[in-house]
Amino acid sequence: MMRTKRFFINGLVLSCTTVFLRGVGVSFNVYITNTIGAEGIGLFGLIMSVYMLATTIASSGASLAATQLVTEELSFHCDRGIRRSMAVCLRYTLFFGLLSGCLLFFFAEPLGLYWLGDERTVRSLRLLAVSMPCIALSSAMNGYFTAVRRVTKGAMAQIFELGVKILVTVYALKIFVSRGIEYACMAVVGGGSVAEVASFLVMYLLYSYDAKRYKSQKEGEKQYLSRMLRIALPVAVSSYLRSGLVTLEHLLVPRGLKKFGASASASLAQYGVVHGMVMPVLLFPSAVLAAFAGLLVPELTEFQKQNKAAGINRVVSRTFRLTLTFAIGAAGIFFAFAKELGMAIYKSGDAALFIRFLAPLVMVMYTDSVTDAMLKGLNQQVYSMRYNIIDSAVSVALIYTILPRFGVNGYVAIIFITEILNAFLSINRLITITDFRIPVFKCIFLPIILILLSAYGVRLCLVIRLGYVPDGPGMLTLVIAVVAITYLSAITLIQKRQRF
């Protein structure tokens, strides 16, 4: 009982923190979009594609390795083992963080000129290099806080990081935005780098204080380096391939749109709308799922270490059903209120159109992300990364061949194909290694019917009563809340009657 209570308290803390951070992040993203424009967001997206590859090299699987090693030592109360595990993980990440930073700094010019194809990205890439060691070390400490179930420490560092990022970025934009898109991107990138360094300092202080509670000299299996490498290296190598393919994918999109007939400026703008504006909105509700999914990793690792198959099946089944219920509800709301959301958040008809196009994919993306977390908790991270690599490879091939012929509509189709493929492979693997099954009608069709009835029922009532659907941020939030409550009430009532 205490274990379940602790899990939900930690999940609630993480959920509230993540929702707050993403809410502020989306609002901040609107400010940046309005300040530097869609083309600026597109250029920033290109820079971020290299950033994601650099951070992948910097962390190199250390977060998952720290979580699993510390969880294993913690399950047998081996305090010395916890300290030794973290020492190994921190040294490992420091090496890769420095390596990543040096590569990014010294190869910024060829990356910007020949890979990204835009010399305006070079200075921003060098600014990103400064934060790589801090990002690497923070990833290991995040894994530690997840393993010991004290997520509030990591949440505090994230909130502090966001505050610093906003303050520094806003100040820098006021100074540099008038000098053009290159300097505007440098302001945004520089604000993020300063925030990463500040967050690392806070997290290191919190970690140093928290680790003092483990004082005994009891050790577990020892062989910390080899155990860590068995976890981290397969994830690292797979992540390198995956991130490299994702980076290539993001580089090919503007080029493919340009071959379709759009100008260089329009290509960056279309890319910016999809990735810089629409995707953050669609992924916003997943903050709740992401919080609980991260906590599932140590729980499932501990169950597996103690050979508790029944506990694993119970957790997997409940998590999957709840994830589908939540994801389908979010997808239905996005689909029904796409126009109002696009106009309320960005005042953009293009954003509204893409929100509606991509809304059905929300239930696939959310379910896939939680499934990946469960696979990692069950020591199936190699399979998870293998599927991600297949997904990215297929995406690159389709972007290269289809995008120049069908433009942005082809790109939307490619996103659907690759996301569904990844989710299918991951879910199939989870079914293979556990005993859970998916009741298709109760888990998929029933929630779809209920969210459509709820969303369009409320929408129809508003049109009949008011003649329109409110599109201001405040009233729209209230309308969506009514839809969510109606949907959850209906599905809860039906499930109770059917003993679902």
Q: Is residue 154 part of a domain?
A: yes
Nearest to 281 by CA among 353, 230, 376, 219: 353
Q: How far apart are CA 359 and CA 119, in angstroms?
A: 35
Q: Is residue 450 part of a domain?
A: no
pLDDT in tens, 179-205: 888 888 889 888 989 999 999 999 999
pLDDT at res. 452: 92
Q: How far apart are CA 172 and CA 169, in angstroms?
A: 5
pLDDT at res. 500: 45
- The two tokens of residue 365 are 């993306």
pLDDT at res. 264: 59
pLDDT at res. 306: 73
pLDDT in tens, 39-79: 777 788 888 888 888 998 998 888 888 888 888 888 777 77
pLDDT at res. 208: 87
pLDDT at res. 450: 92
pLDDT in tens, 392-434: 888 888 888 888 888 778 888 888 998 899 999 999 998 888 8
pLDDT at res. 79: 74
Q: What DSSP line would sit under 121-177, residue for residue?
A: GHHHHHHHHTTHHHHHHHHHHHHHHHHTT-HHHHHHHHHHHHHHHHHHHHHHHHHHG
Q: How far apart are CA 260 and CA 271, in angstroms?
A: 13
Q: Is residue 346 part of a domain?
A: yes
Given pLDDT bands bounded at 50, 70 and 90, which one contains residue 7? low
pLDDT > 60? residue 146? yes
User: Rounded mean pLDDT of 16-37?
Assistant: 77
pLDDT > 60? residue 1? no
pLDDT in tens, 245-262: 777 777 777 777 777 776
pLDDT in tens, 91-145: 999 999 999 999 999 999 888 888 777 788 888 999 999 899 999 999 999 888 8
- The two tokens of residue 49 are 């594609």
The domain tally of the chain equals 1
- For the chain, the C-alpha Rg in angstroms (whole number) is 23
pLDDT at res. 331: 93
Q: Is residue 414 part of a domain?
A: yes
Q: Is residue 176 part of a domain?
A: yes
Give the three-class secondary structure for 166.
helix
pLDDT at res. 499: 53
pLDDT > 70? residue 10? no
pLDDT at res. 42: 78
pLDDT > 50? residue 468? yes
Q: Is residue 495 part of a domain?
A: no
Q: Is residue 249 part of a domain?
A: yes
Domain range enclosing 102:
2-438
pLDDT at res. 52: 84
pLDDT in tens, 314-359: 888 888 888 899 999 999 999 999 888 888 888 878 888 889 989 9
- What are the residues whose beta carbons fall under 8 Å from the beta carbon of 296, sequence distance 6 or more? 315, 319, 370, 373, 374, 377
Given pLDDT bands bounded at 50, 70 and 90, which one contains residue 209? confident
User: Rounded mean pLDDT of 452-460?
Assistant: 89
pLDDT in tens, 19-29: 777 777 777 87
pLDDT > 60? residue 287? yes
Q: Is residue 479 part of a domain?
A: no
Give the three-class secondary structure for 149.
coil
